[in-house]
């Protein structure tokens, strides 16, 4: 039995883990590489495995850094099933189509400039991928091959996210591998906490925030209230929030609604300027059964009109452009969360030169992304071929992260009834992975920080 780390090792994008169990070949996740120079070429690099030999895929969740290369896989000959949860299936229909649309738009822009640009996949490839999806509920055991049994537990990261438990057998040897996927932070709004796992011989553990802890949600909400009051009532400007269309947008709307309903904030004018985020919000509402008890109660509570959040969905490009005429008092939430695509870039071009504007960063910003440049204090950035000065106030709210912090990661691992025999740290930049490795080693665990293309025996 062998495991090869094909992506998401030493970095936080491109997650893909290839397993060989006797005659069976499969992968867990098939993610897009995002951010930084050369990312386009990386997403077109030859696979480090034979696509036509893959029997199936297990997909932990819908974020593109875990799912975004599935259409390329199908384009190049993969014909097997892709196992995932029903909510992930629903999200993929939105996210993968959006990814294909963005590539097509980029190809058209480059064509007009006389630059060759071939899409990685198109809408036909996405539809072919969606046909391959087979859904399994949380805790429903399935057997995709004679040598493999599997099930998905709730990872509490985004809607439908899963922890993959894999029971592998080759001849007389049996190994249980657990792939954490991305774990959520306990106590976050809307979703359940990550489920505990009983045991594992081998654990693949994400380490995005392995070197730090998040500010508490309570402190983050206090900071959010202060930032909104300062930006809207004192500076009389607008607030621009780059938000991930999946998870972060719905969490922000939930928290803003709660703050207005409680009277902590006055009624706000919020514009959700992301067609994908709008559709994801509708999908989230349809999966009420996945909410935690507090979220279910909040959905059923109807505050009086004076304490209701006013949310406008901007459906068209014209409606989005019309937001530029609002000089003050607007909260504009737009994707993408790392500012590398989507309508947020147009709002940043409009508002970054304005000292009365405030940009609230609410999620992890990978190295090489525009969001990371803003967080790191860049005095100017390049948008649509122009140099744009950064005069707006840039604030970072750390407590909204959808990823477990170091304390939560350690607590989740400590929850194993039988500790894992070997831990491989994935999905983290070196600083985070190395800090988490040290903390786990101090607790007596065998830990290795995985590197891309490493191959290990199971």
Mean pLDDT of 309-319: 90
Residues forming CATH 3.40.50.10890 domain(s) in the chain: 217-400
Residues forming CATH 3.60.15.10 domain(s) in the chain: 2-212+402-457
**CATH class of the structural domain 217-400:** alpha beta
Q: What are the pLDDT digits (tens) for 236-260?
A: 999 999 988 888 889 999 999 999 9
Q: Are 152 and 162 a contacting pair, CB within 8 Å? A: yes
Q: Are 348 and 359 a contacting pair, CB within 8 Å? A: yes
In the predicted structure, residue 375 carries a pLDDT above the cut 90: yes
Q: What are the pLDDT digits (tens) for 428-439?
A: 999 999 999 999
SS (H, E, C) the chain: CEEEEEECCCCCCCCEEEEEECCEEEEECCCCCCCCCCHHHHCCCCCCCCHHHCCEEECCCCCHHHHCCHHHHHHCCCCCCEEECHHHHHHHHHHHHHHHHHHHHHHHHHHHCCCCCCCCCCHHHHHHHHCCEEECCCCCCEEEECCEEEEEEECCCCCCCEEEEEEEEECCEEEEEEECCCCCCCCCCCECCCCCCCECCEEEEECCECCCCCCCHHHHHHHHHHHHHHHHHHCCCCEEEECCCCCHHHHHHHHHHHHHHCCCCCCCEEEECCHHHHHHHHHHHHCHHHECHHHHHHHHCCCCHHHCCEEEECCCHHHHHHHHHCCCCEEEEECCCCCCCCCHHHHHHHHCCCCCCEEEECCCCCCCCHHHHHHCCCCEEEECCEEEECCCEEEECHHHCCCCEHHHHHHHHHCCCECCCEEEEECCCHHHHHHHHHHHHCCCCCEEECCCCCEEEC
At residue 37, the pLDDT reads 73
At residue 363, the pLDDT reads 78
pTM: 0.89
In the predicted structure, residue 147 carries a pLDDT above the cut 90: yes
At residue 94, the pLDDT reads 94
Q: What are the pLDDT digits (tens) for 27-40?
A: 999 999 987 678 88
Question: pLDDT > 70: what percent of the chain?
Answer: 100
At residue 244, the pLDDT reads 82
Q: What CATH code would you report for 2-212+402-457?
A: 3.60.15.10
Distance CA 370, CA 366 (A): 9
At residue 401, the pLDDT reads 81
Q: What are the pLDDT digits (tens) for 44-82?
A: 999 999 999 999 999 999 999 999 999 999 999 999 999
Using alpha carbons, list the distances in angstroms from residue 449 to 171, 185, 203, 207, 208.
29, 22, 12, 9, 12
Backbone angles phi, psi at 81, to 5 degrees: -80, 155
3-class SS at 262?
Answer: coil
Average pLDDT, the chain: 93
More confident site: 299 or 347: 347
At residue 14, the pLDDT reads 96
Q: What are the pLDDT digits (tens) for 167-203?
A: 999 999 999 999 999 999 999 889 999 999 999 999 9
At residue 119, the pLDDT reads 93
């Amino acid at each position: 039995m062998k495991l090869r780390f094909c992506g998401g090792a030493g970095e936080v994008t491109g997650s893909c883990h290839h397993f060989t169990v006797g005659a069976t070949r499969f992968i867990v996740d098939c993610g897009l590489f995002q951010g930084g120079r050369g990312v386009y070429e990386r997403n077109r690099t030859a696979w480090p495995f034979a696509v036509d030999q893959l029997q199936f895929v297990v997909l932990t969740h819908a974020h593109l850094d875990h799912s975004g290369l599935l259409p390329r896989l199908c384009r190049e000959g993969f014909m097997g099933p892709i196992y995932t949860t029903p909510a992930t299936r629903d999200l993929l229909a939105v996210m993968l189509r959006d990814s294909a649309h963005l590539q097509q738009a980029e190809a058209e822009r480059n064509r007009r400039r006389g630059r060759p640009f071939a899409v990685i996949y198109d809408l036909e490839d996405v539809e072919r991928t969606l046909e391959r999806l087979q859904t399994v509920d949380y805790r429903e055991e399935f057997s995709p091959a004679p040598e493999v049994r599997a099930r998905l537990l709730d990872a509490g990261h985004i809607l439908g996210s899963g922890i993959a438990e894999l029971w592998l057998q080759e001849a007389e040897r049996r190994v249980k591998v657990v792939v954490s996927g991305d774990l959520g932070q306990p106590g976050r709004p809307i979703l359940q906490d990550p489920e505990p796992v009983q045991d594992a011989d081998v654990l693949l553990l994400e380490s995005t925030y392995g070197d730090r802890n998040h500010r508490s949600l309570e402190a983050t909400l206090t900071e959010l209230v202060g930032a909104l009051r300062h930006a809207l009532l004192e500076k009389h400007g607008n607030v621009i929030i780059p938000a991930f269309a999946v998870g972060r947008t719905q969490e922000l709307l939930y928290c803003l609604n709660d703050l207005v309903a409680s009277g902590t904030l006055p009624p706000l004018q919020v514009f959700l300027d992301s067609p994908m985020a709008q559709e994801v919000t509708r999908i989230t509402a349809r999966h009420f059964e996945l909410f935690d008890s507090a979220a279910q109660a909040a959905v059923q509570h109807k505050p009086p009109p004076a304490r209701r959040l006013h949310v406008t969905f901007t459906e068209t490009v014209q409606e989005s452009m019309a937001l530029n005429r609002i000089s003050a008092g607007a909260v504009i939430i737009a994707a993408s969360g790392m500012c590398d695509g989507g309508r947020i870039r147009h709002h940043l071009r409009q508002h970054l030169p304005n000292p009365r504007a405030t940009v609230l960063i609410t999620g992890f910003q990978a190295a090489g992304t525009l969001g990371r440049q803003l967080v790191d204090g860049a005095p100017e950035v390049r948008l649509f071929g122009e140099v744009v000065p950064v005069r707006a106030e840039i604030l970072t709210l750390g407590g909204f992260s959808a990823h477990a912090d170091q304390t939560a990661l350690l607590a989740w691992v400590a929850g194993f009834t039988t500790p894992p025999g070997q831990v491989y740290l994935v999905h983290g930049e070196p600083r985070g992975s190395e800090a988490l490795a040290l903390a786990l080693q101090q607790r007596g665990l065998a830990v290795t920080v995985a590197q891309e293309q490493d191959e290990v025996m199971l």
